[in-house]
Amino acid sequence: MNRLIRAGLMFGNLFHVHSPALVERYNRALHHLTGQRTKLSDFYVDISGYSPEVGDELGDPLYLNHKGVNRQFILLSVDQRTAPLLNTQFSTSKAILQEFIAENEAALFALTAKDAVAGELVNSVYDVSDPKRLFDIRRITIDADTTGGTVKDASKLAEMVDQFRDTDDGWYDDVLIAEMISLAGKTGDVVRNPVKLKSMSFDQRNFWTAHFGGLYVFQDVEHPAVIASESKEDLGDIPMEYVFDTSQRNRIAQFFRLNGLTETILEARGIKSAAILRQKLDFVLIDAVAGQGADLSDLSRGDLRRLARQHADKLPPEFHTLGQLVNWAENGGAFPSIDSDDPVYFYTLRAADTPDAELVNMLLAQLAPKDIRQLFICHKDLFYETYAGWPEAKKAYVADFLEREYQVDKAGVRDALFGHEPALEAPPLPRKRKKPPPVPDRIAAVGPWGAVKRR
């Protein structure tokens, strides 16, 4: 993992807590939330204020997320909004924290100038030892204040100011005036500079959770289902009619199709589908030859062709099918017949333009794990887990590729792979270039891969 850390691919963009003032504020918030303190004078935190170093010191990687639910957070600066979320238990948590910071940026900037803001992502469930409890999580509400209670005091002071103004003899209420002066010393002038955090709640109907080996829960779609990373039999009786696991590829493909959650890379507008397919082809090749003692450093296109020739007997079926797709896209070759039983099927999909695109791309990354770029972007926890078991040659190749091809333009890569361009009313005329071959007529009738087979 040190190779990933050095390349900024792991624990990157964390917020550095190094000044005595920040450490003290962190400790006040930590004690406020958990009753514990850290003796460290220098550490890094993620968007939620979780620190791997503090977790090691306390012997508890979930010290801000007891039992993996109702995640607590510590904000020392609005700059934490660009940090990742570590030890993710629910896929929605990072987006919720980012929106909370964005919506309250001015107030948080003022509050964190003197104190830490401590809070919690609150729902009605405190224990998910039974899978059925996951379906009781419907709404997440944010509860936050400084460790000194500045927001609460400011709200109380605002009420007292209103009382003072609305009462005819307010000027003669010495007790009220004394309390107002005392609170104003803590909060400042709440009339000119209101100190208030917006009350925010979020629905949580479609999400991924790390509990029970990893579950994808889709409740708010036309045809709801749960997809388990491990055997669905281990889940027992849960309140969902359709439960699949990742070995049921045909059922998952049908689920995607019925809910309109995916589109093929070949159909997607505004992307260079042939280039993306060729890159996926390279990733499958690297996976196949990495354990064969091949040199994977500084590979050119000719080197990749040489490796494919030398290790032709080791190449998996998806390599050959992807090769046929690339040949079709680039040279007008025959269009291969692909259905959901084919190992390459999910490599050719991306999320459609829906509110659940990130969740769908996360599931697709798990279903097509040899695409190391998509796995890293869409499902980092699974990426780190699988990375640990790769041969050293593949680890070096992947770290170098991601540092060189992804780190330099994260937004551009994400947009090229997963973005959705709005439809153009009058597209500009293209310059002279080779037209891609037409998609076979049968695709328009039954979809890009033919009818989804039922078992």
Interval 80-133: pLDDT, tens: 999 999 999 999 999 999 999 999 998 888 888 888 999 999 987 888 989 999
Q: Starting at the edge strand that comes first in sequence, how are the strands of the sheet with 72-75 ordered?
A: 72-75, 117-122, 139-146, 201-203
Residue 331: band (very low, low, confident or very high) from pLDDT cuts 50, 70, 90 = confident
Residues facing residue 217 across a β-bridge: 207, 226
pLDDT of residue 438: 52
- On the question of pLDDT at 24 being above 90, the answer is yes
Range of lowest pLDDT (234-248, 304-318, 405-419)? 405-419
Look up residue 42 and give its amino acid: D
pLDDT of residue 132: 92
Give the global pTM.
0.84
Range of lowest pLDDT (38-52, 166-180, 298-312, 344-358)? 166-180
- 220-224: average pLDDT: 95
Which pair of tokens denotes residue 245?
């696991």
pLDDT of residue 168: 67
**Of 73, 40, 69, the residue nearest 54 (C-alpha):** 40
Which pair of tokens denotes residue 432?
């002279």
Which pair of tokens denotes residue 359?
């969740």
Q: Answer yes or no: are the C-beta atoms of 40 and 57 closer than 8 Å.
A: yes
pLDDT of residue 320: 93
Residues facing residue 201 across a β-bridge: 141
Q: Work out the end-to-end distance of the chain between its first and last CA atoms, rounded to an integer number of angstroms.
A: 42
pLDDT tens figures, 141-171: 999 988 877 776 666 656 666 665 767 665 6
The chain-wide mean pLDDT, for the chain, equals 85
Share of the chain above pLDDT 90, in %: 58
pLDDT tens figures, 333-365: 888 888 898 999 999 999 999 999 999 999 999
Count the alpha carbons within 13 Å of 45 in the hemisphere toward its beta carbon.
27
- 281-303: average pLDDT: 89
Cα(48)–Cα(238) distance, rounded to whole angstroms? 31
The more confidently predicted of residues 52 and 187 is 52
pLDDT tens figures, 189-219: 444 445 678 889 998 899 999 999 999 999 9
Cα(215)–Cα(235) distance, rounded to whole angstroms? 10
pLDDT tens figures, 386-402: 999 999 999 999 999 99
- 450 by Cβ neighbours in 10 Å (0-12 / 13-18 / 19+) ranks as middle
Distance of CA 40 to CAs 24, 74, 334, Å? 10, 16, 63
- On the question of pLDDT at 183 being above 70, the answer is no
Cα(242)–Cα(235) distance, rounded to whole angstroms? 12
Cα(45)–Cα(22) distance, rounded to whole angstroms? 12
Residue 184: band (very low, low, confident or very high) from pLDDT cuts 50, 70, 90 = low
pLDDT of residue 63: 97
- Sorted by where each begins, the domain ranges of the chain are 2-149+195-204, 209-247, 257-421+431-446
- On the question of pLDDT at 175 being above 60, the answer is yes
